Structure 1
Amino acid sequence: MAWRDAKASRVRLLLFMASIILGIAAVVSIQLFSSNLKDNIKLQSKALMGADYIIDSRQLPTARAQAIIDSLQPDASEVNFVSMVAFPKNGGTKLVKVRALKGDFPFYGSIDTEPASAAANYQDSGGALVDATLLLQFNIKPGDSIKVGELTLSIAGALKAIPGSTAISTSVAPPVIIPNRFVDGTELLQFGSRKEYQYFYKASDSLNLSKFEQNIGPQLEAENSDLDTHTSTSAQLGSRYDNVGKFLNLAAFIALLLGCIGIASSVHIYIKEKLRAVAVLKCMGASRKQSFLIFLIQIAGIGLAGGLIGSLIGVALQTVFPYILEEFLPFAVEITISAQPILMGVFLGLFMSVLFALLPLLRTWYVSPLDVLRVDEQASQGPKKARIIVFAAILIFLFLFSFWLLKNAVYALGFVVATLITFAILAGISIGFMTLIKTYFPKRWGFTTRQSLLNLFRPNNQTVVLVVAIGLGTFLISTLYFTKDILLAKTEVEQSAENANMIILDVQTDQRAAVEQGLNARNLPVLDNIPLVTMRMHKIKAQLVNNIRQDSTSEIRGWILNHEFRTTYRDTLIDSEAIIAGEWVSELKTGKPVVISISDNLAEDAKVGVGDAIVFNVQGVLMETTIGSIRKVDWGQLQLNFSIVFPKGVLEQAPQFNVITTSVPDEAASAEIQRDLVAQFPNVSVLDLRQVYTILEDILDKIAWIINFMAFFSILTGIIVLIGSVRTSKYQRIKESVLLRTLGAKNTQILKISALEYVFLGLLGSLVGILLALLSSLGLALLVFKEPFVPSLIPFLVFLPGITLLVLAIGLSNIQTVLRSSPLEVLRREG
């Protein structure tokens, strides 16, 4: 019986299945890709690092740190720094990362070079390994020479890959590998130079890296050094994709929720049409159980089929992700297909189909034979207790599923409550809308307009079901679109003539005037000339830093106590700063105490506030200061931001170096200024931000593609749900339209009645859905993604009229059968 009835209703049931398929496909594809990504990170973490663990320090290790390093017997070491290099063959210059290696590094993975022998021989031959892309860019070959500071080396080979480098870092500063013994000959490690000392270790299989990190890590941190294990690195690597992962999980949740709405609304109208048939069956002796099982088997069968098809589509779909992200990820993701996601998808399709169909299915249980004569809107709802149990089961399912996706009980509860509130608001607005029309019915309007308004509150009306389905669908689609904009807002990198696109680093005091003259001679502006003074904290609120280090109960973060701060002085705030406490002091008056401004994150980690005293050790000279203001700093902006800013009139005579910024019009001008600066000042580094912009845009474009793709996928699911809900509602109006035709109504009148009804429903549902999405997106932006929210007009300009027109088009297509055929033919066909 279930099979026969399903064949007769296959169009309605296929639309019902489509919403399940798309929802399951989204969940399976996202979950399977996330699982594959995590597995690959774990498997390849050693090869990414090239060692089991690394000790690194931003300065020459202290005596205590060096003792720990030596006691662990490093298998290899490195000092690396960013510098400009030159190619004497053609005068080309480039900012690179110089890695001066000593020992047999890497222990996992390999150095990939051309020729292959160069990786093994460069230490003995005294040659350099230069990034292969860099050699192609400057038309340089192995055997040519490279000038690193004051040292000229022969190029032993082209470097294709080495552990510790990523596509992002190599694009900004390509690696150049040299033997460690040549570092002093470069004469590049001068005052203020940024450098890093690294020591690589290969651990025995018996070493527990987690316990080792807990024991040794704090000792090294106290000496301003760090310990990184391959396990912690894999965890950090995984956390880089957190916001994208949150969005993908949100997309999966919304896609599945849209599928659930499609199931509930479609089955509600479908079962409502079947109630008379159920009453007839009971008149013929069918039991409650039999009539209930007929439709339960239908729904379960569709859920199984939809879950299986959706799982297979999801498995096929997720294989596309690695190709999109291959340059964004530092390794190739190997996709493994297991039975688990397919089984999960099939189970989810079956479970959510049956669960969300139970409320309308309960009506079949309580239909009495007498209802064959009188089936109305309020008949056969079933006992309140049964409906409450089903409703509670739905809420528990939504909470558990969202918790499984989001791994956060508070967020999961928030999503469920927000969805429930949205549902209640939409249902309340639709009921209020019906009451308003009924109370203030426009009796003087034309017949077709009055008839369309009457349809909104007559028996067998579809107002509540369709407004809730349309509204929830629009709400979820718009929330997804607004959320997409929140994430993609960070991908916009503004470039203009007023913005610096070249930064000149490590300019010594005696070089500053010559660098500025060189820029002026080429008609290039000096946008910023930022002095940098290095210092450490000596006392915090009258407590010596050395004593705080030894106090195990101190809440001050360790990095504060060991960090060498690069500070500056100026009389104005910059665009990325805003005062959140205290008052900004621009210039220090003679005889007044030194007042500084600190960033909000520094204030939190150092447990200090406005009015607290800090004593700094400025390269051997102690300086007492008072915190005058706290700044909120947007560290995401591509400009120089500082944790500590002094007013003018304090640090001018301190040992310092400068950072100069300018704006170059094109690549040729950039290459020329870089070549001349490196030739005249080998210690100076030049960062061409035009390249950084290009790299960032390329990476963020890939992320944006995935975000847009998943948003489109969920929006498509929502449209399918809307089509299913509105399409299924056609059976509500067919008999009324046939009766109108029998009474002499023209086709144009029937069209106008239906059109106005669906326009009212589409406008009301989509407008309320978009307004609710604005509120939910604001909450997501502030609480989940921690980003500012600037709402887009697209949902109002595109979704509102688009969804209304879609509802109108489907609604009008619903009555084409009535318009094309005679009334008797339609009634026979529908019967």
Structure 2
Amino acid sequence: MAWRDAKASKVRLLLFMASIILGIGAVVAIQLFSTNLKDNIQRQSKSLMGADFIIDSDQLPTERTQAIIDSLAPDAFEVNFVSMIAFPKQGGTKLVKVRGLEGDFPFYGSLDTQPAAVATSYQTTGGALVDATLMLQFDVKPGDSIKIGDVTLPIAGALTSIPGSSALSTSVAPPVVIPYRYIDATNLIQFGSRKEYQYFFKVSDTVNLNRLEDQLEPTLDLENADLDTHTSTTRRLGRRYDNVGKFLNLAAFIALLLGCIGIASSVHIYIKEKLRAIAILKCMGATKLQSFLVFLIQIAGIGVLGGLSGSFIGVGIQQLFPYLLEEFLPFSLTITISAQPIIIGIVLGLCMAVLFALLPLLRTWYISPLEVLRVDENQATPPQKVQIVVYGTIVLFLFLFSFWLIGDALYALYFIGGTLVTFTVLAAVAIFFISMVKRYFPKGWSFEARQSLLNLFRPNNQTIVLVVAIGLGTFLISTLYFTKDMLLAKAEMGQADTSANMIILDVQPQQRDSVTNTISTKKLPLASSIPLVTMRMHSLNGRLVNDIRQDTTRAIRGWILNHEFRTTYRDSLIPTETLVVGTWTSQTNPGDVVPISISENLAEDAKLKLGDPVVFNVQGVLLETIVGSIRQVDWAQMQLNFSIVFPVGVLEKAPQFYVFSTYVPNEQESADLQQDLVANFPNVTIIDLRQVFTLVEEILDQVSWVINFMAFFSILTGLIVLIGSVRTSKYQRIKESVLLRTLGANNKQILKIAALEYIYLGFIGSLVGIVLAVLGSLCLALFVFDVAFVPSYLPFVVFLPGITILVLLIGLSNIQTVLRSSPLEVLRKEA
């Protein structure tokens, strides 16, 4: 009976199935991608690092650290730092990451170069390996020269890849690899320079790296050094991309929920139309269980077929993810297909279809045979206790599945709660709109306009489900665009005509006047000249930092204990700072207690409050201070901000260097200034913030593409729900239209009534989604990004009319039978 009835209703059942296919396809695609990602990370763990383990330090290793390094006998080592380089042939300059290598690194993976032979010969020939993209950008070839500080080297070849780097990281500072023996001659490592020393080790597979890490890490931590094994790095990398997978899974899950809501609504109408047939079956001797199973088998079949179809679609879709995320992956991704996500897709399709259709299906259980001549749909409603059990089961299943995706019960609870709130708000808005139409019904409108409004709350109407489905999809994409605009606006705040857009780092005291003259000669403004003094914390509240490090119960964050702070001194606050507590001290006299001002995040992580003593180690000299004030700092601004600020009169004689900032009006003047600075002061590092802004925009575009791709599933699922809902109510619409034709309505009037109704549905659904996105984005702007919110015009001019027109076209396709045929012919055909 289930098979026979399904064949008679195959069009509607296929539309039900389509609602699930997209959501299952998205979930399976992302599950397969996540599985492939984890497998690739595990398989390529050594190649990602290039060694079995690394000891690194941001300063010359201490005596104790060096002893540990020597005892382990490193197979290779390097010092790397960010610096400016020059291409003498073209006169161009570029910020790069210089890596001075010694030894046969990498031990795993490969150093890919063009030509391939220079990957090993550059050490002996004394050439430089330059990032391939950088060589194309400046039109240089092997044999041309490159100037790094005071050293000019020939370019041995193009560097296409090196373990540990990704396309995203190299776009910020492309790598340039040179033999280690040239590092001292460059004269680029000076006081205040940021650098990193790395020692690479290769060991046999019999060595227990976890045990080695447990033994050495505490000692190295006390000496401001770190030990990273390929296994620990793999775990961190896996967790990083696992977060991406969790986000995409939740986006796909929302698409699946939309499809399930569409099924629940469509099955509700479908079963309503079958109530008389079910009553007849019971008159003929069918039991409650039999009548229930007829339709349960149909829905279960939809779930299984939908899950199977969605799984195969997901297998094809997941092939796209390596291309979507290639900028974020530091390795090439090999795609394989496993059975687990496909089985999950089929089981998920079955469970979701049955659960969400269960409440409408239970109505078949409560139909009495005596109602065969007078079916009252309200009498077929399951008892309230049964409804509560069904709703509770659905919520429990959603929570368990979310917990499986996220791995955190609290976050899963937040997700389910947020989803329920969003659906509730969308449904409430739809109900409110319907009530407003009823209360303030425009009785003076034309017949066609009034009839179309009445259809919004007629029996079998789909207003609420369509507003929820279309509204949620529109909400996701609109929020994305609004948020992206806010992030870009946040970055672009630094691009105003009066703001600095170039930062010059590592200016030594003896170079200060000369750099100032160079900027002035170019007729450019000197926006700031900020002194920087490096120091580390020696003790907090009377406790030595070394003692705190060894305390496993400490509440102080680890970065506080190991960080080399770059501090400054000045007599006033800057616009990005707001005093929260305490008193700002602009100047202090020798011998007085030194009151410092710290940022809120530092106070929280270091567990400091007003009046707490802090002792700093300033280049070997201990300096006693107290916390005099705590500031709120807007770190998102593209300008120099500091965690620790000293008053004037304390650090003037301490070893220091300077950071300059200026405003350069165009690219040509920027290039001219950079060339002069690099030629005369090769140790300085120049950051052109306009390039940073461009990079930020490119990253946001890439992220937007991925999120758009997932939001597309929600929109498309919503449209499938729309088509299924509209097609499900087709028979009710046809009867209404035939009655209107019989009463004398012409095709033009019927067409106008239907067109207006579908315009209302499309407009309301998309408008509610956009309005909610505006409200959500406004909250983000006020409480997260702290920027003025100006909504993007794109959702209003694209999604609002686009979805409305699509709904209109789908709806009008339903009444073509009525418009082309006579009323009697239509009734006979439908019968």
Normalised TM-score (structure 2): 0.90
C-alpha contact (below 8 Å) 1:737/1:750 kept by paired residues? yes
Q: Which residue of 2 aligns with 1:734?
A: 734
C-alpha contact (below 8 Å) 1:22/1:717 kept by paired residues? yes
Shift of 1:81: 2.1
Shift of 1:277: 2.3
* Distance (Å, rounded) in 1 between the aligned partners of 2:427 and 2:138: 67
C-alpha contact (below 8 Å) 2:311/2:345 kept by paired residues? yes
C-alpha contact (below 8 Å) 2:569/2:651 kept by paired residues? yes
Secondary structure at the counterpart of residue 320 of structure 1: helix
1:475 to 464, 472, 476: 472
* Distance (Å, rounded) in 2 between the aligned partners of 1:769 and 1:125: 63
Q: Which residue of 2 aligns with 1:462?
A: 460
Q: Which residue of 1 aligns with 2:196?
A: 196
Closer, same or farther in 2 for the Cα pair 1:190/1:804, shift >3 Å?
closer
Shift of 1:233: 1.9
Shift of 1:378: 0.5
* Distance (Å, rounded) in 1 between the aligned partners of 2:170 and 2:439: 71
Secondary structure at the counterpart of residue 380 of structure 2: coil
* Distance (Å, rounded) in 2 between the aligned partners of 1:780 and 1:393: 33
* Distance (Å, rounded) in 2 between the aligned partners of 1:805 and 1:598: 56
Shift of 1:659: 1.2
| Pair 1:676-2:676 in alignment | yes
Which residue identity lines up with residue 374 of structure 1 in the other structure?
R
CA-to-aligned-CA distance 1:335-387 (integer Å, 9 cap, x gap): 11223322222222222222222211222233233333222331312344443
C-alpha contact (below 8 Å) 2:590/2:650 kept by paired residues? no
Q: Which residue of 2 aligns with 1:160?
A: 160
Shift of 1:434: 6.8
Q: Which residue of 2 aligns with 1:317?
A: 317
CA-to-aligned-CA distance 1:216-260 (integer Å, 9 cap, x gap): 222211111111122222233344446644542232111111111
Shift of 1:606: 1.4
Shift of 1:751: 5.1
* Distance (Å, rounded) in 2 between the aligned partners of 1:115 and 1:428: 65
C-alpha contact (below 8 Å) 1:422/1:772 kept by paired residues? no
* Distance (Å, rounded) in 2 between the aligned partners of 1:442 and 1:673: 69
Q: Which residue of 2 aligns with 1:700?
A: 700
Closer, same or farther in 2 for the Cα pair 1:537/1:150, shift >3 Å?
same
C-alpha contact (below 8 Å) 2:478/2:770 kept by paired residues? no
Shift of 1:50: 0.8
Closer, same or farther in 2 for the Cα pair 1:302/1:564, shift >3 Å?
closer
Which residue identity lines up with residue 500 of structure 1 in the other structure?
A
Equivalences for 1:645-684 in 2 at 5 Å? 645-684=645-684
Secondary structure at the counterpart of residue 327 of structure 1: helix
C-alpha contact (below 8 Å) 1:129/1:178 kept by paired residues? yes
C-alpha contact (below 8 Å) 1:503/1:687 kept by paired residues? yes
* Distance (Å, rounded) in 2 between the aligned partners of 1:327 and 1:447: 58
* Distance (Å, rounded) in 1 between the aligned partners of 2:694 and 2:431: 53
| Pair 1:351-2:348 in alignment | no
Equivalences for 1:216-295 in 2 at 5 Å? 216-241=216-241, 244-295=244-295
Greater alpha carbon shift after TM alignment, 195-204 vs 50-59: 195-204
* Distance (Å, rounded) in 2 between the aligned partners of 1:104 and 1:352: 56
C-alpha contact (below 8 Å) 1:145/1:152 kept by paired residues? yes
Q: Which residue of 1 aligns with 2:826?
A: 826
CA-to-aligned-CA distance 1:13-60 (integer Å, 9 cap, x gap): 232222111111111122222222232223223112111111111111
C-alpha contact (below 8 Å) 1:128/1:176 kept by paired residues? yes
Q: Which residue of 1 aligns with 2:361?
A: 361
Secondary structure at the counterpart of residue 378 of structure 1: helix
C-alpha contact (below 8 Å) 2:615/2:625 kept by paired residues? yes
Shift of 1:791: 8.1
Greater alpha carbon shift after TM alignment, 681-690 vs 281-290: 281-290
Q: Which residue of 2 aligns with 1:396?
A: 396
Shift of 1:507: 0.7
Secondary structure at the counterpart of residue 191 of structure 1: coil
CA-to-aligned-CA distance 1:130-186 (integer Å, 9 cap, x gap): 334444444444444444333344444433322233323433333333332333333
Q: Which residue of 2 aligns with 1:709?
A: 709
* Distance (Å, rounded) in 1 between the aligned partners of 2:319 and 2:155: 40
CA-to-aligned-CA distance 1:772-814 (integer Å, 9 cap, x gap): 666777889999x999895846666665666566555545544
Which residue identity lines up with residue 462 of structure 1 in the other structure?
N
Q: Which residue of 2 aligns with 1:306?
A: 306
CA-to-aligned-CA distance 1:291-311 (integer Å, 9 cap, x gap): 333323332333232222222
Which residue identity lines up with residue 309 of structure 2 in the other structure?
I
Secondary structure at the counterpart of residue 379 of structure 2: coil
Closer, same or farther in 2 for the Cα pair 1:390/1:280, shift >3 Å?
same
Secondary structure at the counterpart of residue 333 of structure 1: coil
Secondary structure at the counterpart of residue 414 of structure 2: helix
Greater alpha carbon shift after TM alignment, 421-430 vs 114-123: 421-430
Which residue identity lines up with residue 44 of structure 1 in the other structure?
Q
CA-to-aligned-CA distance 1:91-141 (integer Å, 9 cap, x gap): 544333222222222111122233333232333334433334444444444
Gaps of 5+ in 2: none
| Pair 1:121-2:121 in alignment | yes
Closer, same or farther in 2 for the Cα pair 1:775/1:34, shift >3 Å?
farther
Closer, same or farther in 2 for the Cα pair 1:90/1:388, shift >3 Å?
closer
Secondary structure at the counterpart of residue 527 of structure 1: strand
Which residue identity lines up with residue 15 of structure 1 in the other structure?
L
Closer, same or farther in 2 for the Cα pair 1:765/1:687, shift >3 Å?
closer
Equivalences for 1:103-182 in 2 at 5 Å? 103-182=103-182
* Distance (Å, rounded) in 2 between the aligned partners of 1:259 and 1:90: 59
Shift of 1:317: 1.3
Q: Which residue of 2 aligns with 1:33?
A: 33
CA-to-aligned-CA distance 1:470-498 (integer Å, 9 cap, x gap): 23541354145315643674356423443
Shift of 1:289: 3.6
Closer, same or farther in 2 for the Cα pair 1:138/1:455, shift >3 Å?
closer
Secondary structure at the counterpart of residue 739 of structure 2: helix
* Distance (Å, rounded) in 2 between the aligned partners of 1:424 and 1:674: 57
C-alpha contact (below 8 Å) 1:80/1:197 kept by paired residues? yes
C-alpha contact (below 8 Å) 2:484/2:700 kept by paired residues? no
Secondary structure at the counterpart of residue 205 of structure 1: coil
* Distance (Å, rounded) in 1 between the aligned partners of 2:586 and 2:433: 60
Greater alpha carbon shift after TM alignment, 583-592 vs 717-726: 583-592
* Distance (Å, rounded) in 1 between the aligned partners of 2:136 and 2:754: 67
* Distance (Å, rounded) in 1 between the aligned partners of 2:376 and 2:755: 24
Gaps of 5+ in 1: none
* Distance (Å, rounded) in 1 between the aligned partners of 2:446 and 2:135: 80
C-alpha contact (below 8 Å) 2:469/2:721 kept by paired residues? no
Which residue identity lines up with residue 271 of structure 1 in the other structure?
I
* Distance (Å, rounded) in 1 between the aligned partners of 2:210 and 2:786: 33
Q: Which residue of 2 aligns with 1:567?
A: 567
Shift of 1:572: 4.4
Equivalences for 1:4-43 in 2 at 5 Å? 4-43=4-43
Shift of 1:452: 5.7
Greater alpha carbon shift after TM alignment, 586-595 vs 736-745: 586-595
Greater alpha carbon shift after TM alignment, 554-563 vs 332-341: 554-563
Which residue identity lines up with residue 516 of structure 2 in the other structure?
E
Please, what is the CA RMSD of the aligned residues?
3.4
Closer, same or farther in 2 for the Cα pair 1:744/1:467, shift >3 Å?
same
Which residue identity lines up with residue 460 of structure 2 in the other structure?
Q
Q: How many pairs were matched up?
A: 827
* Distance (Å, rounded) in 2 between the aligned partners of 1:765 and 1:197: 58
* Distance (Å, rounded) in 2 between the aligned partners of 1:790 and 1:551: 46
Closer, same or farther in 2 for the Cα pair 1:206/1:636, shift >3 Å?
farther
C-alpha contact (below 8 Å) 1:584/1:597 kept by paired residues? yes
Greater alpha carbon shift after TM alignment, 495-504 vs 422-431: 422-431
C-alpha contact (below 8 Å) 2:426/2:471 kept by paired residues? no
